[in-house]
Structure 1
Amino acid sequence: MDQLKWGIIGCGDVTEVKSGPAFNKVPNSSLVAVMRRDAEKAADYAKRHNVPTWYDDADALINDPNVNAIYVATPPDTHAEYAIRAMRAGKPVYVEKPMARNAAECEAMNQVSRETGVPLLVAFYRRSLPYFLKIKELVDEKVIGDIRYVRVLLNWQPYAEEVGENPKPRWRVDPEISGGGHFHDLASHQFDFLEYVFGPIKTASGIARNQAGLYQADDVVIANFEFESGVLGTGNWCWTVNKEQRIEVTEFIGSKGKISFSYFEMNFIKVETEAGTVDYTIPYPENIQQPLIESIVSELRGEGKCPSTGETGARANAIIDQITAH
């Protein structure tokens, strides 16, 4: 495939800066069509981003002969549906994260990819960001020795629209659409990167509860997990604290020190050893998915490999399913 001509199904907020513009910045790649069920919004996106074609019907975009690769950027409840339709049409698929609502839907997607031979890639873009590659490098070089355990902590206050006299919770906390709540949305990034660094998680368990009653999904999760390598992990996630308690940090505890970093809040990396403390600040690119999209284009052109596939992407869903099962 010499030139990648992308079509986006679901040109919503995530595509405005994080991903959409990157398709035109990567060599041998261009964004040629977009689709959204709201025709007015689809036309507006196309106009603002100089996209030549827009649709309000997914099948029309999938069957457009000028589109040879498809990015599915809808909420998770339609990821499997659109990805499978695109792959059966012979078009490689790049799908947003989480890959789907649950592990079963992910497996259905991967089964079609295996049957058709059509590539399926997933938007776990931290696998290609320089900031996160630096963290992996520090672990691989044993800067803090052998890793003993991982600790994940995320405390956030409720989003503004989720509270008040007339709350309007976002689709992310509607399990019918997202598969769960904010844990499903954000922890998928965390577990995917942890496996990229440490290898597969062999067991995971936890407790997920709705304590505040702001919406249907869980709002607090406590988890334990173990990697095949022997590294242990714990995690605490809560979305109903006050702003003074807000914190988001992950720590890798090693035999010779500690690495602390943030997945979402800031781009700091702190390394603490007997020799002292070293801080790294590595900024994100303007379009945060661009490095991963570069690897996808490279793979589809037969020149390289993308680190985030349907097989790796499905694992985050499987881990989350295990943790929230009880």
Structure 2
Amino acid sequence: MPRTEDPRTAPPIRWGILGAGGIASVFAHAVAQYTRAQLVAVGSRNRDRAERFATAHGIPTTHVGYRQLVEDPQVDAVYIATPHSEHRDNALQAIKAGKHVLVEKAFTRNVAEAEEIFSAARQAGVFVMEAMWTRFLPHVAALHQVIDAGEIGEIVNLRADHGQWFAFDPRSRVYAPELAGGALLDLGVYTAAWAHDFLGVPDEVHAVGVLTETGVDGQVSAVLRYGDRALAQLNTTLWAKTPTTSSISGTEGHIRVAGEFYRPTSFQVTRRDGRVWTFTQPAENGLQYEAAEVARRVAAGETESPRMTWEGTLAVLRTMDEVRRQVGVVYPGEPRG
């Protein structure tokens, strides 16, 4: 089975890191260890945080604030790792400065904000992509090859769950409405993007959920219908560390994707004829694959990735907007109803 292209073969690119939190640290490590790209600058609103981050990752330039970062002439592409509530403004600022952009998922709070970003990118002629790193991992490429080869027949059911335990803190990014918190945008986006990747845009969305004391979703279950008989069942929660596994079942067999399904992992194929086999391709970290995708597309003069297209991001956000509508989560500044 063909292997995913080595991220070290991607062209070099100079990264600026916007936001100096946990996921930014994971990204910086992946870029430094597994690609030929350079980490040239980091920007944070907190000087001490920026300097600590720069020291930890060997980054030569620090900026207090984001404007200085996006306008830094050393920077080719900006990786945005701020809370969901800030993604729109941060991305537009970077695009205005002529930078290519990789935006953490969920890409924005809602589809309207995403459309603004893509419109600006189209006018500026810069590359923009949602950092849905799962799309670029080796086991996901192998899953598509297996399914496309007809190993499990026609898909009739997909299940995916993503739950993590978070202590309640109304000021934290996962519980605060003003930071676009909630299980769906932080964790459930993986399950929604997973269903879209293998089944496409659903014909129907049905969701139920339970809200936290702050009014964001603490737990959500959704069922998506595709055509006459295919269903996707998605679950996400802030209140329990779930198995974070996935299964994809078809007319000729089923696939069990080990936890955590959205990270580099293995899967087992069980066919209806009794044949069983396992895919295993170990990979450390994993964010280097999306970083390499950005570098390759930018070098080719392209503005979007065929694996994570602009329309693909918009489609997932439309599904999540509908889930939030049914569950009753509205963020500050969003229209109601």
Instruction: Identify the TM-score tier after normalising by the shorter chain.
Output: 0.7 to 0.9
- Superposition deviation, residue 285 in structure 1: 2.3
Tell me, yes or no, if the aligned pair for 2:44 and 2:63 is still in contact at 8 Å: yes
- Rounded Cα–Cα distance in structure 1 between residues aligned with 2:73 and 2:162: 45
Query: 1:135 maps to which residue?
Result: 143
Give the letter aligned to residue 320 of structure 2: I
Give the letter aligned to residue 181 of structure 1: G
- Superposition deviation, residue 10 in structure 1: 0.3
The answer to which of 68-77 and 275-284 deviates more is: 275-284
Query: 1:23 maps to which residue?
Result: 31
Once the two structures are superposed, residues 110-163 of structure 1 have per-residue CA deviations (whole angstroms, 9 ceiling, x without a partner) of: 11112222211111111110022222222111111111122234555x32x22x
Cα RMSD of the aligned pairs, angstroms, is 2.5
Once the two structures are superposed, residues 25-61 of structure 1 have per-residue CA deviations (whole angstroms, 9 ceiling, x without a partner) of: 5665211100011101101111221111001111111
- Superposition deviation, residue 81 in structure 1: 0.3
Query: 2:308 maps to which residue?
Result: 308
Gaps of 5+ in 1: none
Query: 1:118 maps to which residue?
Result: 126
Query: 1:255 maps to which residue?
Result: 251
- Superposition deviation, residue 222 in structure 1: 2.2
Q: How does 1:152-231 map to 2 (within 5 A)?
A: 152-154=160-162, 158-159=165-166, 161-162=167-168, 167=169, 170-178=172-180, 180-210=181-211, 213=212, 215-227=214-226, 231=230
Query: 2:265 maps to which residue?
Result: 267
Q: 1:134 to 1:3 in 2, by over 3 A?
A: closer
Query: 2:70 maps to which residue?
Result: 62
Q: 1:155 to 1:26 in 2, by over 3 A?
A: closer
The answer to which of 3-12 and 200-209 deviates more is: 200-209
Give the letter aligned to residue 21 of structure 2: G
TM-score, normalised to structure 2's length?
0.83
State percent identity of aligned pairs: 24
Gaps of 5+ in 2: 1-10, 327-337
Q: Is 1:144 paired with 2:152?
A: yes
Tell me, yes or no, if the aligned pair for 1:120 and 1:309 is still in contact at 8 Å: no
Q: 1:253 to 1:115 in 2, by over 3 A?
A: same
- Report how many aligned residue pairs link the two structures: 311
- Rounded Cα–Cα distance in structure 1 between residues aligned with 2:173 and 2:216: 10
The answer to which of 48-57 and 231-240 deviates more is: 231-240
The answer to which of 111-120 and 215-224 deviates more is: 215-224
Tell me, yes or no, if the aligned pair for 2:195 and 2:232 is still in contact at 8 Å: no
Q: How does 1:75-86 map to 2 (within 5 A)?
A: 75-86=83-94
TM-score, normalised to structure 1's length?
0.86
Tell me, yes or no, if the aligned pair for 2:99 and 2:126 is still in contact at 8 Å: yes
Tell me, yes or no, if the aligned pair for 2:221 and 2:234 is still in contact at 8 Å: yes
Once the two structures are superposed, residues 253-289 of structure 1 have per-residue CA deviations (whole angstroms, 9 ceiling, x without a partner) of: 1101111213258834122223243233332323x21
Q: 1:133 to 1:266 in 2, by over 3 A?
A: closer
- Rounded Cα–Cα distance in structure 2 between residues aligned with 1:55 and 1:275: 59
Of the candidates 17, 35, 42, which is equivalent to residue 8 of structure 1?
17
